[in-house]
Structure 1
Amino acid sequence: MNRLDLTPYDALLLDFDNTLLATEEFHVMGFTKALKQLLDYDLTREDEIGYMGRTTTSMSAMIIGRLGRHDVTPEQVTELKRQLVLEVFEPKVYPGVVEFLSKQKGKRVIAVVSNSPRDFVEHAMSLSGLTPYVDALLTCDDVVRCKPDPEIFLKASSRVGVPVPRCLVFEDSEIGLQASLSGGFASVLVLNPDNIVPRTIPTSVHLTTWFHLLEGLC
């Protein structure tokens, strides 16, 4: 992994789930229980992989359509899953994240850009102590089309007042990279422990870890 030069960028747009915090186990647990309770469906490993980076609503719609069910809506699955996750969630910030954010605070605008619902992200940020480092927050509640559509990143760029070429996106998933790259953003793939690495990674994407980033910040 080569050293990442941050000097060309005035804003850092950071994905949340499995980029800043290890949240996958809670989302999968809540989704698994919601699907079982409402649809009597057992989430498969293939489903889990497809779920990474997607909204619960979009993944639920795919499963419901596959099952040919009309008695349960994706929104019902999403709401039950949200309640189940909030009941048990415990923050697990990846090592190096707080140090990185503290070094960047005041030097660059920091925005969290997440496909998760706002109430969950705000709750998780508060519990994990990340709120003071973040200047702006955009979630799936703020857009019509969530990732892999670039709308949320384009809206984040506009919200913080920094043009796309001066923004750098940090992602962990294939869905997230699709969104950032299609929006014309320079992008970083953060290789956190236990994350599912995208099958195809464009050569323009910089690969790094939080510790590697801390070794030579600009």
Structure 2
Amino acid sequence: MDLSAYKGLIFDMDGTLIDSMPAHIQAWKQTCEMYEIPFDEEWIYSLGGMPSIKTAQQINHRYQQNFDTKRLADTKYHFFDQIEFKGDVISSTFELLSEHKDSKKVAVGTGCASLNAVPLLESSGILPMLDALVTADNVERHKPHPDTFLEAARRIGLAPEECLVFEDTELGQQAALAAGMDCVMVVDGAITSLTKASRH
């Protein structure tokens, strides 16, 4: 892959760098069972990139319920913490990151909270390779808003058009393009198509 046009690489985490989406889905499944909420795996996956509190709000909206969203999110965190093995690194993106970490600025921009993101990035050996990490705790507006990726670019000292984003969800791709960054989709662990941001 020719990345010479870019000075910075920004990766989403869950489903892009680490195959941790199944663990998140499992934690939501247990949460839904506990609160007797219908569990729709595909729909929950489509919300990948959203912080858990936002997913809880979406659950209320979809099922016209009035759950305490903080309690729902905390329950999900609890179940997620209990899952011992949260997923391997995704070799295609991990190798790309390893290969370019000395020649380009590298950041992670995730919708995951710091308390979940940092241990995952530490245990997978990714954290020391990063120049910046932006989590759900660092921005007000989450994906599909561009703020996560704009903050990552700011922290590595680059303009948006100098950065390339790697994402596995539509929400994440929307956020990257809204930030004015080109975006490569990672589908089932494979690096696929590049979508260019429109430059006004």
Partner of 2:173: 177
- Cα 1:164–1:194 change in 2 (3 A) is closer
Q: Are 1:76 and 2:71 matched, yes or no? A: yes
- Following TM superposition, by how much is the alpha carbon of 1:152 offset from its aligned partner in structure 2, in angstroms? 0.9
Q: Tell me the matched-pair count.
A: 196
Question: Which residue of structure 1 aligns with residue 6 of structure 2?
Answer: 9
Matched, 1:26 2:29: no
The corresponding residue for 1:57 is: 53
Deviation digits for residues 27-63 of structure 1, max 9, x if unmatched?
01111111222x2113123423432333322222122
**How do 1:106-145 and structure 2 match up within 5 A?**
106-145=102-141
What secondary structure does 1:96 align onto? helix
Larger Rg: 1
Letter of the structure 2 residue corresponding to residue 12 of structure 1: L
Q: Which of residues 181, 191, 196 is equivalent to 1:204?
A: 196
Deviations 1:115-155 (A, max 9, x none): 01111111101111112211110011100010000011111
Q: Structure 2: how far apart are the matches of 1:11 and 1:66? A: 37
For residues 45 and 115 of structure 2, the distance between their equivalents in structure 1, rounded to whole angstroms, comes to 24
Q: How does the TM-score come out when normalised to structure 2? A: 0.88
Structure 2: runs of 5 or more not aligned: none
Residue aligned with 2:9, SS: strand
Amino acid at match of 1:204: K
Identify if the C-alpha distance between structure 1 residues 190 and 65 changes in structure 2 by more than 3 Å, giving closer, same or farther.
closer
Change beyond 3 A, Cα 1:124–1:159? same
- Equivalent in the alignment of 1:213: none
Secondary structure at the aligned position of 1:54 is classed as coil
Q: Counterparts of 2:69 and 2:139 in 1: how far apart (Å)?
A: 17
Alpha-carbon distance between aligned partners in 1 of 2:63 and 2:97, rounded to the nearest angstrom = 43
Q: Distance in 2 between matches of 1:66 and 1:129?
A: 37
Deviations 1:141-177 (CA, angstroms, capped at 9, x unpaired): 1000100000111111111111111111111110000
Query: RMSD value over aligned CA atoms?
Result: 2.2
- Normalising by structure 1, we get a TM-score of 0.82
